[in-house]
Amino acid sequence: MQENSWIPIWPDQASTFALQVDYLYIYLIFVSIAFTIPIVAALFFFLIKYREKEKYATPDEMHGSIALETVWSIIPFVVSMTIFLGGAYVYYNQFRIPDDPAMEVYVVGKQWMWKLQHSTGHREINELHVPVGKKVKLTMTTEDVLHDFSVPAFRTKTDVVPGRYTYLWFEATKPGKYHLFCAEYCGLNHSGMGGYVYVMTQPDFDNWLSGSVSGQTPVEQGRDLFENKLGCASCHAGGPAQRGAKLEGIFGKDIRLVGGQTVKVTDAYIRESILNPSGQIVEGYQPIMPTFKGQVTEEQLVSLVAYIKSLSGVTGTTSASGDSGASQPASNSASNSTTAPRADRGNSNTQGSNPNAPGSRTEPANRPR
């Protein structure tokens, strides 16, 4: 389908992984051929040489050959280790997510579409625009069943799993339009669950960013949920009214739980703490938080996690382009400005600020349960 790949049945090589994966693949084909030909040749040779010449002939006795056995053990060992090392190299490259991605995108799979949101607030459906030559990190989850985010031209894919976050990264090397697939059967319209990744030069990408409407960034959206819609701030804001665990500066750190274990604060831990608050209580706090299971969508969870991370100065992105000013200070000021107003807000709506929470309807939220 692409005219510029050198073997027409292969997709474009459009990421830094592509060449590595293809080399490994070609090597595997080469090894398979190198074993198949001699084996088939030997089969025919022995078939003819040792065909039955006389009835009930007794063959000469044979007591084995150390040299032969050594050779046919060592050669396959060396060959299989080269395959292992090549595979491990490719694997580590793909599945160790870089610490310093230039751009972060949140992905939510859903029967049968991909919903993507940039940390600048731009939203896309079944399309992803990225700049060329930049490391892009995807944080992915799904609202329903298993999906699999797959871009053949980048030679990478990762399952998108209900109830957890999975990650994928790539660095595109060539501007163009590349197929995006769902590579895991997920129901009736699985085959239609795809779209395109548009790899653009940096100026084109900047144009695209400024041309398309950006909504709230995930951090802003998360702050809105936190302070207003879900009322998290009434317990988690600093000041005398603080009843919920402190959220500032915790991301990436180990915190102590009731019972003495420690846990590292990750995306998954924050998500889990919102959905199942009594599962892992931070030492020094009461298990009074109601669950938010069923009340927040995966997209809202992604925003809440992004916001809570921003309280630790983790901004997800420094934006791919020169306009990093937009996202970086924005989230800094977010975490600064939150301290004061949030405290007020926290005091003013201590009572039932979350009308949707199952617990808060019937009993005061501050009574330990």
180 binds ligand CUA (CB under 6 A): no
193 binds ligand CUA (CB under 6 A): yes
186 binds ligand CUA (CB under 6 A): yes
237 binds ligand CUA (CB under 6 A): no
What is the widest separation between alpha-carbon atoms in the chain?
A: 104
From 80-88, 186-194, 213-221, 254-262, span contacting ligand CUA (CB under 6 A): 186-194
Spatial separation of the C-alpha atoms in residues 64 and 41, rounded to whole Å: 22
Among 132, 182, 288, 334, binds ligand CUA (CB under 6 A): 182
**Per-residue tokens: 141:** 């989850």
Nearest to 132 by CA among 180, 181, 196, 203: 203
267 binds ligand CUA (CB under 6 A): no
Q: Cβ distance 243 to 366 under 8 Å? A: yes
Spatial separation of the C-alpha atoms in residues 341 and 347, rounded to whole Å: 10
Q: For 143, left (φ over 0), alpha (ψ -120 to 50), or beta?
A: alpha
Total site size for ligand CUA, rule CB under 6 A? 9
Binding mask 75-114 for ligand CUA (x = CB under 6 A): ----------------------------------x--x--
Amino acid residing at 290? P
Helices (H), the chain: 18-49, 66-95, 202-211, 218-224, 233-236, 267-275, 298-310, 324-348, 358-362
**Per-residue tokens: 247:** 């959220």
Spatial separation of the C-alpha atoms in residues 57 and 45, rounded to whole Å: 19
From 10-18, 89-97, 178-186, 305-313, span contacting ligand CUA (CB under 6 A): 178-186
The phi and psi torsions of 335 (rounded to 5 degrees) equal -75, -25
From 43-51, 184-192, 223-231, 327-335, span contacting ligand CUA (CB under 6 A): 184-192
151 binds ligand CUA (CB under 6 A): no
Which residues in 110-149 contact ligand CUA (CB under 6 A)?
112, 147
Provide the terminal-to-terminal Cα distance of the chain, rounded to the nearest Å: 61
Spatial separation of the C-alpha atoms in residues 271 and 40, rounded to whole Å: 56
185 binds ligand CUA (CB under 6 A): yes
For ligand CUA, give the closer residue by CB, 180 or 250.
Answer: 180
Q: For 197, left (φ over 0), alpha (ψ -120 to 50), or beta?
A: beta
For ligand CUA, give the closer residue by CB, 149 or 198.
Answer: 149
157 binds ligand CUA (CB under 6 A): no
**Per-residue tokens: 82:** 């080269």
For ligand CUA, give the closer residue by CB, 78 or 188.
Answer: 188
For ligand CUA, give the closer residue by CB, 193 or 296.
Answer: 193
For ligand CUA, give the closer residue by CB, 161 or 330.
Answer: 161
Among 184, 227, 267, 298, binds ligand CUA (CB under 6 A): 184
From 93-101, 183-191, 245-253, 256-264, span contacting ligand CUA (CB under 6 A): 183-191
Which spans of this chain sit near ligand CUA (rule: CB under 6 A)? 109, 112, 147, 182, 184-186, 190, 193
